[in-house]
Amino acid sequence: MDSASPIAICIGLFISFLITVAYVYCEWLFGYWKRKNVPHKKSTSLIYGSIGKLFKAEVSQGYFFKDIYDSFHGEPFVGFYEFQRPSLLLRDPEIVKKVLAENFNSFHKNGLYVNEKEDNFFNRNPFVLTGTRWKEARSKLTQTLTVNKLKFLPESISKIYPSMKTFLDETEDNIEAYEFGTNITSGMAASWSWGIEDSGFSKTKSYVREIAQKFVDMFIGTTFSMQLIHINPWFAPLFKPSIVSHETGFFNDLTKKSLEMLISTGNNSSPCVLNSLRQTRLKSGQTDDELMNNEVIEDLSGVVAAFYFDAYETTARAMSFLLYTLAQYPDVQRRLRDEVTKLPKEQLTLDEVQKMPYMEMVFSEVLRLYPPATFLRKKCTQDCQLGGLKVEAGSHIIIPILAMHKDADIYPEPEKFDPERFSEENKNDRHPYAYIPFGSGPRMCPGMRFAISLIKVVISLLLQDYEILPPKNEYFKPITPSASGILLVPDAPLKLHIAKLKK
């Protein structure tokens, strides 16, 4: 017994030493923002830091960041801890401007994870690319979505409008707004990506659309594992996510066949992304034969599919929120209908649609309340100053879009739907970076103009023939976000009824 006492004492002292070291280390680790004199949300756990509710999937990421934003009124930024990593949430639109535009060289990297080894197909998406590769990929997309190309949108939409009308005329029950939106965007995105006809209102299943929905469910973050990986890529080896790699062959084959069709028909004027990429390469000196090389096909396929995925989801989601809102506010719908009925339905042009002031006000207010992406994540790549704070390379920055859009100091009665907030006079009274539904700066969503233009044209046609009504035999349900995902995804279907307009 006596001989064991010194050993027991040593063990006890050693354990006490380890506990002391662990305590001192944790105090130092979670004292990062205190040492920098930055207001912050304290860590509540050694494991998940400040993000307990996110870790437990109790709240959506957008509303979690809104809670932090609202808790530190008047501060330009707020520190918090994602697991053991200190991260910074911005509250001042002027500092947001510095991150997205003025100091862009220090924040050009989006803080999202992609498995480049296993997802060598998806990693051509400009939203996730890093270094100089994102510039090249984004340039390829923006060159295919110029104003001159987008002017063909009304003509493209008019081709699917008859099948849309048939669907609505034959549907007596309620419809789900997002599903209706994807019926439109799946066909339009396929047409503008590869130049193929793929009507979402057809009874035939679309394999392209099925893959797109898989992408939405995984990469956008509707699975818990992807949320953890986006917060900290350390979790990647545990889950080994792969978005669409196993579908690479399908997309490459689709791109190859579509390219062969463009070449064989001599179609040099198609506005689709694939043809625009083809024309750019031909102007640089490549030949059509060289474009059929497998390596070139893979590169073209990655860029085209990136556009398809982007156009499919966020456009449909924004359209569903607009439709649901119009059903809730019949006076707004009537005023908007009065505006669109002045347009020549049979010869609708994008220029005329873009000039409708009330359409712009209504849609802007919908995107304020329901931004497709509720926040942006940026990763600092080189030390810089933000509002007097030295931000170190490797730091993660959160730009809480939803929180800024619902800041009562910027938008009085923020939960109220009021299109007049976006009259020219009212817009000029606000900081331009207090409203960024598609981001801003050099890495702004490249498909923004396509999405906005498509939705406006569809609504312009739809309101001339149909009335968007509340769901039959159901009450309107408030839009409550799902507790997962980086997009604003409702936790319940948005039902409504679309009936032929009585003229």
Token reading at 326: 């119009």
How many structural domains does the chain have? 1
* Residue 176 maps to a domain: yes
Exposure of 105 by Cβ count < 10 A (0-12 exposed, 13-18 middle, 19+ buried)? exposed
Q: Is residue 2 assigned to a domain?
A: no
Residue 330 inside a domain? The answer is yes
End-to-end CA distance of the chain: give it in Å, rounded: 100
How many degrees, rounded to 5, is the angle at CA 227 between CA 223 and CA 232? 145
In this predicted model, what pLDDT tens digit does every residue of 357-400 receive, in sequence order? 999 999 999 999 999 889 999 989 999 999 999 999 989 999 99
Exposed e or buried b for every residue in 250-282, given b needs 16+ CB within 10 A?
ebbebbbebbeebbeeeeeebbbbbbbbbbebe
Token pair recorded at residue 430: 């606000």
Q: Is 479 domain-assigned? A: yes
DSSP string, 165-180: HHHHHH--S-EEHHHH
Report if residue 7 sits inside a domain. no
Domain coverage including residue 434: 32-500
CA dihedral 108, 113, 118, 119 (to 10 degrees): -60
Is the whole model's pTM more than 0.85, yes or no? Answer: yes
- Torsion from C-alpha of 281, 208, 114, 402, nearest 10 degrees: 100
What is the DSSP secondary structure assignment for residue 99, as one 8-state letter?
A: I
Q: Number of H helices and number of E strands within the chain? A: 22, 10
Q: Residue 129 is encoded by which pair of tokens?
A: 């690319």
The residue type at 118: E
The residue among 375, 310, 259, 294 whose CA lies nearest residue 126 is: 310
CATH no. for residue 183? Answer: 1.10.630.10
For the annotated binding site, the residues are 445
Average pLDDT of adjacent 10-residue blocks, the chain of 503 residues: 68 74 70 93 84 81 93 96 91 96 88 58 64 71 81 88 92 93 88 80 68 63 53 55 62 89 86 90 91 88 83 90 96 96 84 93 97 90 92 93 97 97 93 93 82 94 95 87 77 93 80
Is residue 123 domain-resident?
yes
Q: Are 476 and 343 in contact (CB under 8 A)?
A: no
- Inside any domain, residue 23: no
CB contact set of 421 (below 8 Å; sequence gap of 6+): 361, 364, 365, 368, 411, 427
pLDDT at 484: 64
Binding residues for heme are 445
**Residue 6, domain member (yes or no):** no
Cβ(402)–Cβ(374) below 8 Å: yes
The rounded distance, in Å, linking the Cα atoms of 123 and 309 is 13
